Amino acid sequence: MLKVEDLWVRVADNDNGKKEILKGVNLRIRDGETHVLLGPNGSGKSCLVMTIMGIPIYKVERGKILFDDKDITTLSIDERARLGIGLAFQNPPEIRGVKLGDLIQLSGGNVEECLQEASLDEAFKNRDVNLGFSGGERKRSELAQLFSMRPRLMLLDEIDSGVDIESLELLGKEINSFIENRSCLIITHQGYILKYVKADIAHILLNGRIARSGSPDEIFNEIRERGFGGTKND
Ligand SMILES: Nc1ncnc2c1ncn2[C@@H]1O[C@H](COP(=O)(O)OP(=O)(O)OP(=O)(O)O)[C@@H](O)[C@H]1O
Ligand SMILES: [Mg+2]
């Protein structure tokens, strides 16, 4: 479904012009697979999913992104969304003046259903997107918006950080039932979400490259024992 080939990405930097972040990433996610992306802070995990989604400040210098064998490297965000790619942001913005319910409806979702799927109270439909939301509520609001678009490939950027144990269980179960017949790339640090969502493959992103891929259990153990620096290149 998704193929990332030799992807080099720079980001438009406020001070120094351009900063190189991804340096030759290769990744392949097949239909129905769930992958986990791990890596230290600043290694480029968010950059990778933002680039797959087409956020304009991330400039592809080399390589390409294919979705269903179609080259999407230069497509706009909305074109990629229409093809079925959806991203839950690590740091979702507050949007004053836009109600969560209206946004879900505009994305083509059923408001009550999407809120329920993300374990959010119905009252949230009349609140401005993320304004005054708690950390956990913000993550659930991201999921409600994501679910509303019924993406075929979900990119979840730290959906489990800042979420309490009970909410995590709810979220994990919702994600799990949602990803049936869909593909998913999950970025996580602690891996809490993996208790509820079964992953097929894990990757470690280090210095802008996939340093290692393997079974999620094996990779987590390796990081616990040897840290990210101890991971060997295949
Ligand atoms: N708009 C930007 N301007 C300047 N630097 C940026 C910008 N966006 C990202 N970067 C830099 O790119 C690098 C990779 O950032 P990224 O957010 O992808 O890391 P990450 O792996 O997601 O880290 P974390 O685990 O902390 O979320 C960082 O050094 C970051 O400061
Ligand atoms: Mg990040």
> 112-115 contacts: CB < 8 A, separation 24 or more?
114/144, 114/145, 114/147, 114/148, 115/144
The whole model's pTM is what?
A: 0.94
**What pLDDT digit, counting tens, does each position of 162-174 carry?**
888 888 898 898 8
Q: Confidence class of residue 231 from pLDDT cuts 50, 70 and 90?
A: low
| Residue 144 forms part of a structural domain | no
As for how many domains the chain has, the answer is: 1
Residue listed under structure tokens 């993550």: 139
Residue listed under structure tokens 């079925």: 84
pLDDT of residue 17: 59
pLDDT of residue 191: 86
| Residue with CA closest to ligand 1 atom 13 | 42
| Residue 98 forms part of a structural domain | no
Closest to 22 (Cα-Cα) out of 7, 4, 12, 3? 7
pLDDT of residue 166: 86
Q: What is the DSSP letter of 233?
A: P
pLDDT of residue 234: 43
**What pLDDT digit, counting tens, does each position of 192-222 carry?**
888 899 999 999 999 999 999 999 999 988 8
- The answer for residues whose C-beta is within 8 angstroms of residue 118's C-beta and 6 or more apart is 140, 141, 143, 144, 147, 171, 174
Closest to 173 (Cα-Cα) out of 190, 151, 195? 195
The pick from 9, 11, 49 for probing ligand 1's pocket by mutation, whose C-beta has the most ligand atoms within 8 angstroms, reads 11
Q: Mean per-residue pLDDT for 57-61?
A: 94
pLDDT of residue 19: 81
| Residue 219 forms part of a structural domain | yes
**What pLDDT digit, counting tens, does each position of 24-54 carry?**
999 999 999 999 999 999 999 999 999 999 9
Q: Mean per-residue pLDDT for 179-183?
A: 89
Sort residue 42 into left (φ over 0), alpha (ψ -120 to 50) or beta.
left
Q: Using a 6 Å cutoff on CB, does residue 10 contact ligand 1?
A: no
| Residue 184 forms part of a structural domain | yes
Domain that holds residue 15: 2-89+150-230
| Residue 57 forms part of a structural domain | yes
Contact assessment for residue 111 and residue 126, using Cβ atoms and an 8 Å cutoff: no
What CATH number is given to the structural domain containing 191?
3.40.50.300
Q: Using a 6 Å cutoff on CB, does residue 43 contact ligand 1?
A: yes
| Residue 133 forms part of a structural domain | no
| Residue 33 forms part of a structural domain | yes
Sort residue 136 into left (φ over 0), alpha (ψ -120 to 50) or beta.
alpha
The pick from 15, 45, 155, 158 for probing ligand 1's pocket by mutation, whose C-beta has the most ligand atoms within 8 angstroms, reads 45
| Residue 58 forms part of a structural domain | yes
**What pLDDT digit, counting tens, does each position of 114-153 carry?**
999 888 999 999 999 999 999 889 999 999 999 999 999 9
